[in-house]
Amino acid sequence: MSAAPVLPQKPKGKRPVGWIIAAAVVVVAIVVAVVVAAVRSGGPDGAASGGGAEKTVTIGVADKSLGYWSTYTKLAKDELGVTVELTNFSDYSLPNPALKDGQLDINQFQHIQYLADYNVTSNDDLQPIGSTAVYPLPLYSTEYDETSELPADAKVAIPNDSINQARALLILQAAELLELKDGGSAFSTTTDIESSKVDVQPLDASQTANALQQGSVAAAVVNNNFATAAKLPTSDIIYQDDPASASAAPYVNVFAVRDADKDNETYLDLAKLFQDPAVQKAFAQDLPEAVARDESAEKLQDELAKVEQDAKAAKQ
């Protein structure tokens, strides 16, 4: 066995230039690889794009069973590379807290007026990023064809949540069934009724259709989602507000997100996807009474800020 080779002594006062250059090349290669991976995965917010990994987004809704959502979720996957998971809520008080707590990424069930009242009451800052439609809020009756046919002191059910209650009271006033103090407002309550031809019965919004169908009330103001679920025919509508009027701006239904996510490109793309012709066609078939609206996120957020000011003033 030969002796181990003797290694030459390390030169003094000189740096191993070759090793430094090699190490620098390795570092640059790693940085480039990281940047390329980030670009392919859709950037820092994780949005899916051009061949990158798919993203899953959870949206809270109140009408998951309607067919237009199938069209929407298929397009989201095909066009945006996003898997949309729908979570259905039958209670309007739940989707906003679920969004705030991170159980949802987006919700789509409410109009601006409702969102403003929630933000002010809960000291929250959820923001709209896209619009869907304005729904008329109809007064239904299975027994009478005109509001003038309702007998004196007939029981009329209305939603008991603050925003839908105010809108329902304004509808009953427009139908000349009651009068509100100072003409009423978007924040009126039953305590503002100065005179009435009917007996107003505030109920949970999910129960007004049931009360009508069971015959415990002569008429009922029923929100669109619950009217659809109860299969109330449009022929039973005896009065409704005008969803195409300028005064309907606060009642535009919206996609809402947490304030920190209002510039998230994936979420903005999903809100805009609702305006796709295929989705609009399916939506019109499911909800022919709705008046579609296509508003920018900036315009919706400006409207929300105005309504929130009114809500704060009404609560003082």
What tens digit of pLDDT does each residue of 124-152 get? 999 999 999 998 899 999 999 999 999 99
Candidate from 45-54, 62-71, 189-198, 203-212 with smallest mean pLDDT: 45-54
CB 262 within 8 A of CB 127: yes
Q: How confident is the model at residue 22 (pLDDT cuts 50, 70, 90)?
A: very low
pTM of the model: 0.69
- The CA distance from 27 to 77, in Å, is 37
What tens digit of pLDDT does each residue of 209-238 get? 999 999 999 999 999 889 989 999 999 999
**pLDDT of amino acid 247:** 72
Candidate from 51-55, 93-97, 121-125 with smallest mean pLDDT: 51-55
Q: How confident is the model at residue 275 (pLDDT cuts 50, 70, 90)?
A: very high
**pLDDT of amino acid 53:** 60
CB 217 within 8 A of CB 199: no
Inter-CA distances, 258 with 103, 122, 124, 127, 213, Å: 11, 13, 9, 6, 38
